[in-house]
Structure 1
Amino acid sequence: MHLTDRRVVVTGGAGLIGSHLAARLVDDNDVIVADDCSKGDPDRVPDGATLVEADVTDDDDVARVVTEDTEVVFHLAAHTDTNHADPRRLFEENTEMTYNLLERAAEVDVSGFVFTSSSTVYGEAPRPTPEDYAPLEPISEYGASKLADEGLVSTYAHSHGIRSWVFRFANIVGPHQRGNVVPDFIEKLLDDPETLTILGDGRQEKSYLHVEDCVDAICHVVDGADAPLNTYNLGSRTTTSVTRIADIVSEEMSLDPTYAYTGGDRGWTGDVPRMRLSIEKLAGLGWEPPESSDDAVRRAARQLIDELA
């Protein structure tokens, strides 16, 4: 599906990935950003896009943003905290958002649905993890909600004729991000340059991809993959440990703090301590990450230091 001259809706379009995606699409498409602005920042919505403050757990709000002339829905809105204070609410509202949007998409004959899933659907799987790995055994309510959402997307792709793309993300980093390890370390070091508290043992090791490259990969796959349901991992071929992230942030801030580890092999209940996705399927479609996981972290760290400091 060529992303040109189309009316597209981006839910969560005032957030990290959604705002960058909207900025990528807005020059060639009519872009509607739907966001309740509970976490997203309206100032991130690019010029030329139309912001509609909407809660997509509400049927009436969904009907306002997904109209008869909508061609593609990019669904990025979600509770994303794997350690959410109310995990039942996280699960119920994430799946409600997805179901509401898919029902409306079928009602008005939307031709394409793009869903942002997560590596957490795999649980603690062998690495690198391919898209066809089974069984999928998430270990957090967040991962379980994404897996349930994928089931809904699959149903509407195969039984309701909505061509769909599902993206299982590695860790995405970039400017304006909050609540992730990179901005967390920066904020801690701004508060106390001498000591940095690190959750777990610091050996947790995951793949990181910069948000600009993530958006580039999404658009490449939507343009190039045309099965009824297209599932792709998005990540890098390399990984970065939590201690290495601390090193990179400290280097970029010209600091040499003492690290204080909280202990244990994971940062919180439901944390997958080691993750690396196979991106062979993505590479087979002609897209490769332009930088390593370390370099993605460093680029994001520099951008976030400029913001936060």
Structure 2
Amino acid sequence: MKIVITGAAGFIGSHLSEALLASGHDVTGVDQIGAHPAKFVKEDNLKEAIRHPRFVWMPADLLSIDLDALFADADVVFHLAGIAGVRGSWGSSFKDYLHANVLLTQNVLEACKRAPRLKKLVYASSSSVYGGGGGAYSSEDSPTRPISPYGLTKLAGEQLCHVYHHEFGVPYTALRFFTVYGPRQRPDMGFHRFMKAALFDEPLPLYGNGEQTRDFTYVSDLVQANVAAMTYGVHGTVFNVGGVETATVNDVLRRIETLAGKPLRIERLPEQPGDPFATRADVSLARRELGYAPAVSLEEGMARQWAYIVRLYGSEVKP
């Protein structure tokens, strides 16, 4: 099939691009790299896909290009582009989240309703739509009560998908991602920050007491769910995508100390607004409907990400 991926140079988008190319699909990847603060990471993410003969690379701002032309021949669109992160979504930054996560999603949906060949739009949502969590497992019919502006924008994206499906028949499936980690993770995300600090023996800011619990999802498991969603025959659907196991942040830090072979220099800071205390994914619906079967343990996944961090920074000048 002919597939378009927005956010293709990102953490998840680059892995998904490679998986789809390996399966024989034609992939057009769109992303904005030029002024990105992690430009060197995004360029590293793309280095495999960009050499592939069936990969078309489009460095562009999705809010300013002709999406109708981009989607004209698309069988599937994966909409991964946007701004992630809870802590940065407060205050004046909220307008950036609105543009990247809400306005852009609405533009994508407008183009999708006119795309003549479109069989599926896969929308990347987030576990942040559920809110803080008290430790219970979240299922797809659990209440959606975001506790951060970021979570609000992802839920707004989901609702836009629902509206365009109901009114115009846009064939979408939304996936709620739970704390994705692995090689190519964004530099602002937890494991990347923790491992980089360990590598360079830098102070590691830890918000709260470290007993926060996360359902950690390895990136290749998440890619599996995305690939399954693109051929799922029922539209207007939402699925949780979680990992093999949950763990506390303190447990993760102990594992990083083992990987690094030295203690971490932890700098304890107050809890941050909007940070959920616990996330746990009930993935029984995805298992049943998508055949989703997460397989990578936290120990194995963290070892792979540590090897990536060492490669990325070990022989480079520290950015």
Q: Tell me, what secondary structure is at the counterpart of 1:207?
A: strand
**Superposition CA RMSD, Å:** 1.9
- Tell me if the contact between 1:253 and 1:305 (Cα under 8 Å) persists in the aligned partners: no
**Is 1:81 matched with 2:77?**
no
> What runs of 5+ residues in structure 2 fail to find an aligned partner?
315-319
**Is 1:289 matched with 2:290?**
no
**Is 1:273 matched with 2:277?**
yes
Which structure has greater helix proportion? 2
**1:80 to partner: Cα distance:** 0.7
Amino acid at match of 1:8: I
Determine the structure 1 residue equivalent to 2:45.
44
- Tell me if the contact between 1:16 and 1:176 (Cα under 8 Å) persists in the aligned partners: yes
Determine the structure 2 residue equivalent to 1:54.
60
Determine the structure 2 residue equivalent to 1:63.
68
**Is 1:18 matched with 2:13?**
yes
> What runs of 5+ residues in structure 1 fail to find an aligned partner?
1-5
Matches of 2:309 and 2:154, distance apart in 1: 28
- Displaced runs of 4+ in structure 1, greater than 4 A? none
Q: Which moved more, 1:121-130 or 1:110-119?
A: 121-130
Matches of 2:71 and 2:18, distance apart in 1: 19
Instruction: After superposition, give the CA deviation of every residue in 1:127-180 in whole Å (9 maximum; x if it has no partner).
Output: 21000112x110111100000000111112222122111000001111122111
Q: Tell me, what secondary structure is at the counterpart of 1:84?
A: helix
Q: 2:27 aligns with which of 11, 24, 31?
A: 31
Matches of 1:302 and 1:234, distance apart in 2: 25
Matches of 1:259 and 1:252, distance apart in 2: 16
Determine the structure 2 residue equivalent to 1:3.
none
Q: 1:184 aligns with which of 187, 193, 215?
A: 193
Q: How does 1:1-309 map to 2 (within 5 A)?
A: 6-27=1-22, 28-37=24-33, 38=36, 41-45=42-46, 46=49, 47-48=52-53, 49-58=55-64, 60-67=65-72, 69-84=73-88, 86-109=93-116, 110-126=118-134, 127-134=136-143, 136-177=144-185, 178-192=187-201, 196-223=204-231, 225-263=232-270, 266=271, 268-285=272-289, 286-309=291-314
Matches of 2:190 and 2:44, distance apart in 1: 23
Matches of 2:86 and 2:205, distance apart in 1: 20
Q: Tell me, what secondary structure is at the counterpart of 1:186?
A: helix
Matches of 2:240 and 2:7, distance apart in 1: 20
**1:299 to partner: Cα distance:** 3.1
Q: CA separation of 1:219/1:197 partners in 2, compared to 1, >3 Å: closer, same or farther?
A: same
**1:294 to partner: Cα distance:** 4.6
**1:125 to partner: Cα distance:** 3.3
**1:236 to partner: Cα distance:** 1.9
Amino acid at match of 1:9: V
TM superposition score normalised by structure 2 = 0.86
Instruction: Give the fraction of aligned pairs with identical amino acids, expressed as a percent.
Output: 27
Q: Tell me, what secondary structure is at the counterpart of 2:87?
A: coil
Q: Tell me, what secondary structure is at the counterpart of 2:88?
A: coil
**1:101 to partner: Cα distance:** 0.8
Amino acid at match of 1:260: E
Q: CA separation of 1:190/1:292 partners in 2, compared to 1, >3 Å: closer, same or farther?
A: closer
TM superposition score normalised by structure 1 = 0.89
Amino acid at match of 2:256: V
Determine the structure 1 residue equivalent to 2:317.
none
Matches of 2:257 and 2:214, distance apart in 1: 19
Matches of 1:299 and 1:44, distance apart in 2: 15
Matches of 1:305 and 1:201, distance apart in 2: 27
Instruction: After superposition, give the CA deviation of every residue in 1:97-129 in whole Å (9 maximum; x if it has no partner).
Output: 111111011122323111000000010235210
- Tell me if the contact between 2:217 and 2:244 (Cα under 8 Å) persists in the aligned partners: no
